[in-house]
A and B are shown apart, each in its own frame.
Chain A
Amino acid sequence: MFKKNNFIEHSIQGVLSFLKDSIFSEEVALKKGLLQSLDPRIKVLTFLVLLLQVLWLKDVRILMVFYGFCLALSCLSGVRLWFFLKRTWIFIPLFSLFVAIPAIFSFFTPGDAYATFHVGGIKFVITSQGLAVALLFVGRVLTCVSFAVLLSLTTRHFELLKVLRIFKVPQIFVMTLGMCYRYIYLFVEIIEHTYLAIKSRVGVSVHTQKGQRIVAWNIANLWTRSYQLNEDIYRAMLSRGFTGEPFVLNEFKIKTKDWLWVSWVVMVTFLFIFLNAHIKI
C-alpha cells in the first residue's frame, strides 16, 4: 500500500472524486423542480439574458435582489441552499475577492476616507468609493457565478452540449464534445482500477521517484489506450452507418411552461432596466 499521507495517492483520489462529484453526478439535474422542467434551450438563453443584466447593473442593492432571485430559483429547483452556497462561494475568493481587495485602498481608488490604518509605517486609507467599487465587483461575480452554477446543476451536461447547436456550433463538434464527456468517465475508471492494481502490488511504501515513474508510465499507458479507443469507436460508428455528417436525436420541445418562464424573464428584464436607469447610486 502507498503510505497513508502519500501525495500521489491523495492527488489521484482527490482529482477522481472531484471529477465524479462535479461532472458526472447528475443528482440535482434529475430532480423534479422548476428549472429542471424547462426546455434546455430556453433555459440557456434566458440565463444568458439574466447574466447580461447582472453585468450591466450599477446598483449593489438591485444586484443583491438579483442574487436573492437566484437563491429563490435554486430552492424552487430542489437544490439544497447550503450545498448551493458552498458550490458558489468557493469560487468567489478565487475570482474576485483577491482582485477586488486592492481597489478599496486610496492608492487605486481615490476618494473619501472610510477607514485608516498603518502597517510598517505606511498609511493605508480605505475609501468609500473604493469599497463601493469592490462591493459591486464582488456582487457581480457572485451573482454571475451563482447563475452559472445553477444552470449547470439543473441541466444534464449532454443537454447543455446539445444547446450549443442553437449557436450554430457544427453538429460534429457538439457530438465530439458529447463523446469526450462520455469517455472521460471511462478513463476515470481506468485510472482508478490501475491505481488499485498498483496499490495491491507495490508493497508498503513507494519511493517518491518510483511513484513519479509509475504515474508517468500510467499517463503514457492512458494515452495509448485513448488512441486505440479512438480508432475502435470510429469503427463502431462506421459500422452503424456513420459517413462523416452525424444525424442525432433532437427531442427538445418548448411547452407552455417555457413560454411562461420567458415572459417572466422579459418582465424582470424590463423592470431592472427601468430601475437601473432611475435609481441614483
Chain B
Amino acid sequence: MNNSIFELTDVSFSYLNKFPALCAINAHVKPGEKIAIIGANGCGKSTLLHLLDGLIFPDKGSLKVFGRELTEDAFDDEKFSREFRKKVGLVFQNPDIQLFCPTVKEDIVFGPLQLGIDFKDIEKRLEELINVLGIKDLLQRSPHQLSLGEKRKVALASTLIMDPEVLLLDEPTAGLDPLTTRHIIDLLLSAHAKGKTIITSTHDLHIVEEISDTVFVFSHEKKIVKSGSSAEILKDDQLLRDHNLIHVHSHHHKGAVHVHSHQHLDHHH
C-alpha cells in the first residue's frame, strides 16, 4: 500500500508561464517525516511549499496528496477541500501576509472558524496554544503592533490551532533572535513528537540538523540537486558552497590567518 503524503513526479511550475520557478521536481514525503528544503534565495523553496498547500498547481507533472491528484478542480469538491485544509497547514514566510485580521485572537481562530470546528474546541485549543507560545498578552492587540518574533509566533499559532497532520513552514526562523529561534524549533520538535509531518524551507543551516531527518537541496536551476540525510548533506561542503549556503571565510586566529568554509553551524575554539 502506498502511504505517501505527497508524491511529486516531474513537477514543473512557472509564474505567468514565463518565469520558471520549479523544474522537474521528484519527491516523496511519508507520514511523520521531518524534511528541510534548503537552497539560496529564489531557488523555488516557497513555490514548492505553496504547491504542496494547494495554493498553486503544477504546469507539468503530477502532484498527489494522500493518494489523490492535487488539481484546481479537486478543490471544487467541498469535502476534499475541507479535509485537505484541516490536514495541511502552511506558515507563510512573511507573517504580515498571514496575519490579516484586526486582532491577534481573530487571526488565530480564523482557520478553525472557516473549517467549522466547534467553538468550544477552538477555545480549548487557543488556551493551550497561547500558554505554550506565551502570547496570552497579545490576544487583543493588532498584528501591526507586534515585533517580528511575536508575529512569527502568532502566525505559527494560527496554523497550529488547526492541528494539521502536515506542517509546512516557510523560513520560520528568518530574522529572529536566538532565543525565539530556539522556542520555535522546540515547538516544531514537539509537534513532530506528536506524529506531525514537518516540512521546513530554510537557509538557516544551523537549525537544519534538528528540524530534519531528510534534506532536499535546491539549485539555482530550480531543481532538487540532491536529497539525503541531514548529516550527509551538511557534511558536503562543496555542495553547500555551490548553492550559496556557505561561504569561504578568513579571519585572524591565534596570530595566524585562517581560511575555511563558514556555515554558521559551529565555531572552532
List A residues at the B interface (Cβ < 8 Å).
Answer: 24, 26, 157-158, 161, 178-179, 181-183, 185-186, 189, 229, 232-233, 235-243, 246-249
Contacts of B98 in A (CB 8 A): 236
With contacts A179-B100, A179-B101, A241-B85 known, what are 12 further pairs, Cβ within 8 A? A182-B144, A232-B92, A233-B100, A237-B110, A240-B110, A240-B162, A241-B86, A241-B111, A241-B115, A242-B114, A248-B101, A249-B109
Q: Is the CB of A24 within 8 A of B144?
A: yes
What is the distance, in angstroms, from A170's C-beta to the closest C-beta of chain B? Answer: 16
Question: A249 with B105: in contact, given A240-B158, A241-B111 (CB under 8 Å)?
Answer: yes
Chain B contact surface mostly: helix
What is the distance, in angstroms, from B232's C-beta to the closest C-beta of chain A? Answer: 32
Q: How many residues of B contact A (CB 8 A)?
A: 36
Contact residues of B between 77 and 113, Cβ < 8 Å to A: 78, 81-82, 85-86, 89-90, 92, 94, 96-103, 105-106, 109-111, 113
Answer whether residue B171 sits at the interface, using C-beta atoms and an 8 A cutoff: no
What is the distance, in angstroms, from A238's C-beta to the closest C-beta of chain B? Answer: 6
Contacts of B114 in A (CB 8 A): 240-243, 246-247
Q: Is the CB of B50 within 8 A of A240?
A: no
Contacts of A240 in B (CB 8 A): 85, 89, 110-111, 114, 158-159, 162
**23 A-B contacts, Cβ less than 8 Å apart?**
A24-B142, A158-B102, A158-B103, A178-B101, A179-B101, A182-B99, A182-B100, A182-B143, A236-B98, A236-B100, A239-B53, A239-B55, A240-B85, A240-B89, A240-B110, A240-B158, A240-B162, A241-B111, A243-B78, A248-B101, A248-B110, A249-B105, A249-B113
Chain A contact surface mostly: helix
> Of all chain A residues, which has the CB nearest B113?
A247
Q: Is the CB of B97 within 8 A of A232?
A: yes
Contacts of A161 in B (CB 8 A): 102
Q: Is the CB of B142 within 8 A of A182?
A: yes
List B residues at the A interface (Cβ < 8 Å).
Answer: 50, 53-55, 78, 81-82, 85-86, 89-90, 92, 94, 96-103, 105-106, 109-111, 113-116, 142-144, 158-159, 162
Q: Is the CB of A249 within 8 A of B144?
A: no
Query: Which residue from B54, B92, B144 sits with its C-beta under 8 Å from A236?
Result: B92
What is the distance, in angstroms, from A211's C-beta to the closest C-beta of chain B? Answer: 28
- In the A-B complex, the 9 residue pairs with the closest CB atoms: A158-B102, A240-B111, A241-B114, A241-B85, A185-B144, A247-B113, A241-B115, A232-B97, A235-B55
Q: Is the CB of B50 within 8 A of A235?
A: yes
> Of all chain B residues, which has the CB nearest A183?
B100
> Of all chain B residues, which has the CB nearest A247?
B113
> Of all chain B residues, which has the CB nearest A178?
B102
Contacts of B92 in A (CB 8 A): 232, 236, 239
Q: Is the CB of B50 within 8 A of A182?
A: no
Contacts of A237 in B (CB 8 A): 100, 110
Contacts of B85 in A (CB 8 A): 239-241
Q: Is the CB of A239 within 8 A of B100?
A: no
Contacts of A248 in B (CB 8 A): 101, 106, 110, 113
What is the distance, in angstroms, from B13's C-beta to the closest C-beta of chain A? Answer: 14
